[in-house]
Chains A and B, each alone.
Chain A
Amino acid sequence: AQSVTQLDSHVSVSEGTPVLLRCNYSSSYSPSLFWYVQHPNKGLQLLLKYTSAATLVKGINGFEAEFKKSETSFHLTKPSAHMSDAAEYFCVVSDLGRDDKIIFGKGTRLHILP
């Protein structure tokens, strides 16, 4: 069975400082992992995905995430936060190609302080 835990429900950072959103997963197989962003009253936008290729994944808008199998983690980072990054972020684990189950974390609300 798969599961995903986002360790922080809210994160606040100042504009221009680094962002770290934490995600741990559990999977019986080699999972596919994703980060999605959702701005208020908007749909889900894919930031990046890991599908067993390079462990450091670069996404859109300067975000990246590193797959660490030994730590079962897939934390999302960005070197310098921008006001437009304020949104809800979801970590997602999937066994695409096996049972195609998609499991969402509960989300992390990122606040950017001026």
Chain B
Amino acid sequence: EAEVAQSPRYKITEKSQAVAFWCDPISGHATLYWYRQILGQGPELLVQFQDESVVDDSQLPKDRFSAERLKGVDSTLKIQPAELGDSAMYLCASSHPTVLSYTFGSGTRLTVV
């Protein structure tokens, strides 16, 4: 079964450092999502792409977060500088509307120390 690939699986970084996460969606899935899940809470959308275009980044803290999907395939989410409050699970998902489903990756667990 096709999967959404994310790396790294775990990341520990010091406060004020830069960190980046990578996501490779299922082939053919035009829509890609980045979610942040703080421990004990539900996932919250950070950014949604349709192909290479940003559809929704209203909840993305743009002073420190950036996301790109240059060729409309894989995507990178960056945080610079990282803050203690950024410690969370970062989840990537992709969807194909004609299949009417979407798939989540295993996530990247970020710990900022």
Contacts and interface: CB of A to CB of B under 8 A. Distances in A.
Contact of A43 (B42, B50, B100, B104): B104
Q: How large is the interface on B (under 10, 10 to 19, 20 to 34, 35 or more residues)?
A: 20 to 34
Contacts of A106: 41-42
Nearest to A52: B100
A97 interface: yes
B26 interface: no
B46 to A, nearest CB: 12
B107 A97 contact: no
Nearest to B30: A100
A113 interface: no
Interface string B31-56: 10100000001111100101000011
B91 to A, nearest CB: 7
Contacts of B43: 44, 90, 104
Interface of B: 31, 33, 41-45, 48, 50, 55-56, 91, 93, 95, 97-98, 100-107, 109
Interface of A: 32, 36, 41-44, 46, 49, 51, 90, 94, 96-97, 99-102, 104-107
